[in-house]
């Protein structure tokens, strides 16, 4: 008759064999499931949401080799977002005034020779300050500027006056886009806001959702919680893979409920080292709690997100 130690040993062996059997069966069952998902549309989307950093000696070269790219240009504490799809070029905001024409230099390095659309989310200096230099260096097809952002010339800031003078001098058409979808080659822009005059320039920011090949980018301008609540209340389609946080990651936006509605894989914060208050710790904590990856221009520099064989890849370059 076996002793107690032998019985314990045999018992442990049986348990291990049972455990290995269960693991093996789970593995065998998962293989066909994963294969099915990889071949299905939902599987492609899930696997495609895994983002990675691309290494490149010259980050411009890989950016130009893809059919679609969104560039969150490092302009300090301001916004400047470039959307490129083949020969279509859209620029949303352009940051503050820079003596060296940093945005124009960036566009020229990319080989850009025209801008089909300049979309001003609103007319704060850190969004339209560098416009004069851009208008003098590139032909601009048209400008989007919402009526809620317009004011009398006398009440404009110095940068706003230069902005409007440049538009007049270059004779650039200005449109106030309504809520709805606008097609550009093989991608679309859905204008989601402003749809109500909230008597606040930040909340009247032009909010746009860029859609390409099943992926979406939600650009919030400087909009905060009031706009977020309105978008959630009206059941606007806000789910997006990439979120550009409103107002440089201030505490007054990118709320828990909004993040739950957007469910971004990645949140980009456009901020500058010169402003120590932005992004706020509260905003960063909320984004981290949501599970979204964070990329910041004040830390990572210019961030380029490209469409790469069915998935999104990001390239970052600190100048």
b/e 145-157 (16+ beta carbons within 10 angstroms → b)? bbebbeeeeeebe
Do 135 and 33 share a structural domain? Answer: no
Name the domain count of the chain.
2
Instruction: Yes or no: say if 274 and 77 are a contact pair by the CB < 8 Å rule.
Output: yes
Length of the chain in terms of residues written: 319
Is residue 294 assigned to a domain?
Answer: yes
Instruction: Give strand ranges (E) for the chain.
Output: 68-72, 81-85, 88-92, 114-119, 139-144, 174-175, 180-184, 187-193, 207-212, 215-219, 242-244, 266-269, 293-296, 302-308, 311-317
Give the distance from CA 40 to its chain's centroid: 26
Host domain of residue 26? 4-39
Query: Residue 65: what pLDDT?
Result: 83
Query: Residue 28: what pLDDT?
Result: 52
Do 240 and 152 share a structural domain? Answer: yes
What strands lie across the sheet with 266-269, from one edge to the other? 180-184, 187-193, 207-212, 215-219, 242-244, 266-269, 293-296
Do 83 and 10 share a structural domain? Answer: no
Structure tokens that stand for 197 in this block:
């005059």
Do 175 and 279 share a structural domain? Answer: yes
Cα–Cα dist 138/89, whole Å: 11
Query: Residue 56: what pLDDT?
Result: 41
| Furthest-apart CA atoms within the chain: distance in Å | 104
Which contacts qualify for 39-47: CB closer than 8 Å, 24 or more apart? 44/310, 45/214, 47/311
Instruction: Yes or no: say if 80 and 102 are a contact pair by the CB < 8 Å rule.
Output: no
Query: Residue 64: what pLDDT?
Result: 77
Do 13 and 140 share a structural domain? Answer: no
Query: Residue 129: what pLDDT?
Result: 98
Do 256 and 144 share a structural domain? Answer: yes
Is residue 9 assigned to a domain?
Answer: yes
Do 161 and 34 share a structural domain? Answer: no
Do 35 and 78 share a structural domain? Answer: no
Instruction: Report the candidate in 35, 144, 56, 57 with the shortest Cα–Cα distance to residue 93.
Output: 144
Do 9 and 133 share a structural domain? Answer: no
Do 170 and 232 share a structural domain? Answer: yes
Query: Residue 13: what pLDDT?
Result: 43
Cα–Cα dist 117/144, whole Å: 7
Structure tokens that stand for 193 in this block:
């806001």
The CATH number linked to 285 is 3.60.15.10
Query: Residue 196: what pLDDT?
Result: 74
Do 94 and 73 share a structural domain? Answer: yes
Query: Residue 19: what pLDDT?
Result: 46
Is residue 44 assigned to a domain?
Answer: no
Query: Residue 52: what pLDDT?
Result: 46
Cα–Cα dist 302/215, whole Å: 21
- Averaged pLDDT in 10-residue chunks for the chain of 319 residues: 43 48 49 43 33 52 84 97 96 97 95 96 98 98 92 94 98 97 97 85 96 98 96 94 98 98 97 94 98 96 93 86
Is residue 298 assigned to a domain?
Answer: yes
Is residue 256 assigned to a domain?
Answer: yes
Residue with tokens 């070269």: 61
């Amino acid at each position: 008759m076996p002793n107690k130690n032998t019985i314990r040993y045999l018992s442990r062996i049986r348990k291990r064999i049972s455990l290995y059997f269960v693991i093996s069966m789970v593995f065998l069952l998962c293989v066909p499931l994963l294969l099915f998902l990889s071949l299905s549309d939902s599987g492609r989307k899930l696997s495609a949401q895994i983002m990675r950093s691309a290494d490149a000696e010259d980050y411009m070269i890989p950016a130009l080799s893809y059919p679609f790219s969104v560039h969150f240009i490092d302009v300090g504490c301001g916004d400047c977002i470039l959307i490129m799809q083949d020969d279509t070029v859209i620029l949303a905001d352009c940051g503050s005034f820079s003596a060296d024409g940093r945005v124009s230099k960036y566009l020229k390095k990319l080989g850009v020779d025209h801008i089909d659309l300049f979309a001003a989310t609103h007319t704060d200096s850190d969004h339209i300050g560098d416009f004069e230099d851009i208008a003098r260096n590139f032909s601009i097809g048209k400008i989007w500027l919402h009526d809620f952002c317009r004011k009398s010339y006398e009440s404009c800031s110095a940068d706003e006056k230069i902005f409007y003078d440049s538009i007049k001098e270059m004779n650039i058409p200005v449109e106030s886009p309504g809520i709805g979808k606008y097609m550009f080659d093989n991608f679309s822009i859905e204008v989601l806001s402003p749809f109500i005059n909230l008597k606040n320039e930040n909340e009247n920011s032009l909010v746009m959702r860029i859609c390409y090949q099943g992926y979406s980018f939600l650009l919030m301008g400087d909009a905060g919680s009031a706009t977020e609540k309105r978008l959630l209340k009206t059941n606007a389609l806000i789910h997006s893979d990439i979120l550009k946080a409103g107002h440089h990651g201030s505490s007054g936006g990118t709320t828990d409920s909004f993040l739950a509605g957007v469910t971004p894989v990645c949140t980009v914060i456009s901020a500058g080292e010169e402003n120590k208050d932005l992004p706020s710790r509260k905003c960063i904590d909320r984004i981290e709690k949501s599970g979204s990856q964070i990329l910041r221009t004040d830390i990572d520099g210019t961030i380029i997100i490209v469409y790469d064989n069915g998935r999104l890849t990001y390239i970052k370059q600190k100048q």
